Amino acid sequence: MAKKGWAAFPYADKAYDYAGDKLAKSWKALHAGDQEPFPDEKHLTKLFKANPKLGKDAATSANALQEAWRAFHRGDFEAAYEQGKALKALGASVAIKAGGIHATYLVEAEKEKLARYESLATFAEEAIAALPDEANSHYRRAFAIGRYSQCISITKALTQGLAGKVKESLDATLELAPKHAEAQTALGLYHAEIVGKVGGMLAKLTYGASAATAEKHLKEATKLTADSPIAWIEYGNGLLLLHGDKQEDAAAEAYAKAAKLKPRDAMEALDVAWAKDQLA
């Protein structure tokens, strides 16, 4: 039974069920955007060596983590979150991604979203402390704080120093994984949101943010993952933040590219549905 009534994923499809070997075979395509390493016994053994407190039984932990990712990809976000959380820092990446994507698309109450993102950011801090060499320990922190910031307004986020925390985590992510497309997108949006809010000159002088850097990162993500809906959606969003109505057609074109893509999992199905809504 669902606790606290997590809203169900509305586009269930057997194509998103990565049972058995299907997960390993599809992993590279499913995780092109976040560069998550496949959680097999070999990878878990490496993590246990880096931090023995995380556990001893790599095979059992690997199976549990793969199950959590299967739940995520098929749209059972609550199960993915709970299973990831049970694995502590080892499962932080899947738990935070599941909780965050669910909150973004399937939670309506602003207060509930904020509470969710706040708890996910705290969990990400624990993951960074336990696994500082994993790129997604840092990226999930940026993701959670970034989504929280978008809920409270960019002005408040800047005042509270949250934007700096997002940038710090994204820089750490890209240092560890330069081809992390989702981090490239997020860094592009970081620059675009600041420029959009405070204007080009103040953005540059106070925060080192610029429209040119925003577009560079957003474009890089579309090159790295041309078949990822979110890369095109956020590219469109970035253009609107930077240029407003002047780039409305280019943004619509980006949304149209996202809308035409075939979703590979539940997250992409939600992304594609959002893009289609913008064009309706």
What are the two backbone dihedrals, phi and then psi, of residue 268, each rounded to the nearest 5 degrees? -65, -30
How confident is the model at residue 4, as a pLDDT?
Answer: 56
Per-residue pLDDT of 112-148, as tens digits, reads: 999 999 999 999 999 999 999 999 999 999 999 999 9
List the alpha helices (DSSP H) in the chain: 22-30, 41-50, 58-74, 77-86, 92-106, 110-130, 135-152, 154-159, 162-176, 181-198, 200-202, 211-224, 229-243, 248-260, 266-279
Q: Domain segments of the chain: what residues?
A: 19-178, 188-275
> Any idea how long the chain is?
280
Between 280 and 71, the more confident residue is: 71
C-alpha neighbours within 13 Å on the C-beta side of residue 73: 23
Can you tell me the mean pLDDT for 202-220? Answer: 89
Comparing 49-53, 157-161, 267-271, the range with the smallest average pLDDT is 157-161
Taken in order 232, 234, 237, 238, the sign of the CA dihedral is negative
Task: Calculate the alpha carbon distances from 54 to 14, 47, 66, 86, 210 in Å.
Answer: 34, 8, 17, 12, 41
Asked if the model's pLDDT at residue 164 lies above 80, the reply is yes
Tell me the torsion sign for CA atoms 151, 152, 154, 158: negative
Res 1: pLDDT: 35
**pLDDT tens digit string along 8-17?**
999 999 999 9
Confidence of residue 2 (pLDDT cuts 50, 70, 90): very low
Residues 6+ apart with CB under 8 A from 134: 37, 47, 93, 127, 176
Q: What average pLDDT score do residues 97-107 get?
A: 97
* Residue of 24, 48, 55, 50 whose CA lies nearest to 37: 24
Query: Among 1.10.8, 1.10.10, 2.60.310, 1.25.40, what is the CATH number of 19-178?
Result: 1.25.40
What is the C-alpha separation between 36 and 190, in angstroms, rounded?
22
What's the chain's average pLDDT?
A: 94
Percent of the residues in the chain that have a pLDDT greater than 70, as a whole number: 99
Overall average pLDDT of the 84-106 stretch: 97
- In whole angstroms, give the CA distance from residue 153 to residue 225: 28
Tokens 């997960």 belong to 23
Report which residue type is found at 229.
P
